[in-house]
Amino acid sequence: MRYLTAGESHGPQLTAIIEGLPAQFEVTKEMINYDLKRRQGGHGRGRRMQIEKDLVDITSGVRHGKTLGSPVALVVTNDDFKHWTKIMGADPLPEDIDPEEIKRQISRPRPGHADLVGGMKYGHRDLRNVLERSSARETTVRVAVGSVAKALLRELGIHVVSHVTEIVGIKADPASIEGKSADEIRTIIEEDACYCADPEASAKMVEAIDAAKKEGDSIGGVVEVIVEGLPAGIGSYVHYDRKLDGKLAQAMLSINAFKGVEFGIGFEMARKKGSEVHDEILWDEEKGYTRATNRLGGLEGGMTTGMPLVVRGVMKPIPTLYKPLQSIDIETKEPFKATVERSDACAVPAASIVAEAVISFEIAKAILEQFHADQLPQLQAQIEELRAYTKGF
């Protein structure tokens, strides 16, 4: 299974094509729009989210609510495009165009963005040609793709949830999710402004976001994705590029502004002894093989263990600031304050939804690489067979 996305931030639409999905599982616009709305939420979002009301159109691969086995195409229209038709149009500009029509050209790269290096790489003197695609707006359709992947995983008894664990040093208490299922965690965080399961920490996060916005600054944080119901043995140890944790790490770091990833207790392992890190193996007739703890985050040797998969990603503060940093105009080489685009004071809550999407896709992809998957009933039978086999191994 694979997917491609296309579209610019202020272009007419965002498009994704997913290839390799099995036939016969349910996909509806309503389930995708539900996740698109979650991506637009969370405290700290900017004015763009007031302009766009992201809704998906399924233009191929689904009939009467069920996948066909053919490529699925998803389209999200950019409502704001009506204000950018000449600036972002695909047709060549006429020679007699009013200079005011192209006044939004950008020659001042923003520190921390792809603007300058992207302009160098592709030869763009108007840096808008870079920022329009490098914008996190592209993650809209990645969330739509992830929603489809989650629908498939649910049919296999696999459930995914994301939540915010930290913003600008304010940390949620791990006890706030202890003993709770993915569905129970989702019920809590969807009522929370920061998608955080700890209400006390969330209140402090809201205050920090408001303070950053007032100062014209931005703040980052950490999100966590939990995957429950995975059978043991998804992924492989035999080659570097088949290790599931490697694929998940790449997916997490592909999200705009994400700069770090960890599994289980992650970097805390560097401060502990081996006896305090590795998970002891247990077995009983009802559950089969389990672990006494889950410090490794449900992965050993690049494979799932059957324990919940736990992966976290760190998001840097958004580099578009309302008190912009110094930059250089690429035309005059004179110093300037960097260009300001619409932005968020904090996009960590929204980014948790993107993280949930990309992790869901990689899990679904790994499963489909491992099993024959032309249609859902065949895949379900193979997954159940694997669960039974590993339980009694």
Residue 392 binned pLDDT confidence (cut-offs 50, 70, 90): very high
Could you report the per-residue pLDDT of 205-236, keeping only the tens digit for each?
Answer: 999 999 999 988 899 999 999 999 999 999 99
Please enumerate in sequence order all residues whose Cβ is within 8 A of that of 283, keeping only pairs 6 or more positions apart, or say none.
289, 290
Per-residue pLDDT for 321 more than 80?
Answer: no
Query: Whats the size of the chain, residue-wise?
Result: 393
Q: What is the mean pLDDT of the chain?
A: 93
Could you report the per-residue pLDDT of 122-139, keeping only the tens digit for each?
Answer: 999 999 999 999 999 999
Q: What CA–CA distance (Å, rounded) separates 77 from 54? A: 7
pLDDT of residue 286: 93
| More confident call, 82 vs 360 | 360
- Residue 110, CB-side half-sphere exposure with 13 Å CA sphere: 22
pLDDT, average across residues 33-58: 84
Give the chain's domains with CATH numbers: 2-96+134-392 (3.60.150.10)
Q: What do you get for the CA distance between the two ends of the chain, in Å?
A: 29
3-class SS at 305? coil
High-pLDDT (> 90) share of the chain, %: 83
Question: Residue 60 corresponds to which amino acid?
Answer: S
Per-residue pLDDT for 70 more than 80?
Answer: yes
pTM: 0.94
pLDDT of residue 341: 58
- Beta carbons within 10 angstroms of residue 71's beta carbon: 15
3-class SS at 299? strand
pLDDT, average across residues 76-95: 87
Closest CA to 190 of 221, 162, 222: 162
3-class SS at 348? helix
Binding-site residue numbers are: 39, 45, 133-135, 256-257, 301, 316-320, 342
Residue 95 binned pLDDT confidence (cut-offs 50, 70, 90): confident
Binding-site residue numbers for NADP(+) are: 39, 45
Please enumerate in sequence order all residues whose Cβ is within 8 A of that of 215, keeping only pairs 6 or more positions apart, or say none.
323
pLDDT, average across residues 143-160: 98
Residue 175 binned pLDDT confidence (cut-offs 50, 70, 90): very high
Residue 116 binned pLDDT confidence (cut-offs 50, 70, 90): very high
Task: Give how far Cα 186 sits from Cα of 162, 256, 361, Å.
Answer: 8, 24, 19
Per-residue pLDDT for 58 more than 60?
Answer: yes
pLDDT of residue 339: 57
High-pLDDT (> 70) share of the chain, %: 94
Binding-site residue numbers for FMN are: 133-135, 256-257, 301, 316-320, 342
pLDDT, average across residues 79-100: 82
Per-residue pLDDT for 352 more than 80?
Answer: yes
Could you report the per-residue pLDDT of 264-298, keeping only the tens digit for each?
Answer: 999 999 999 999 999 999 999 999 999 999 999 99
Per-residue pLDDT for 48 more than 70?
Answer: no
pLDDT of residue 104: 73
pLDDT of residue 87: 84
Question: Residue 326 corresponds to which amino acid?
Answer: Q
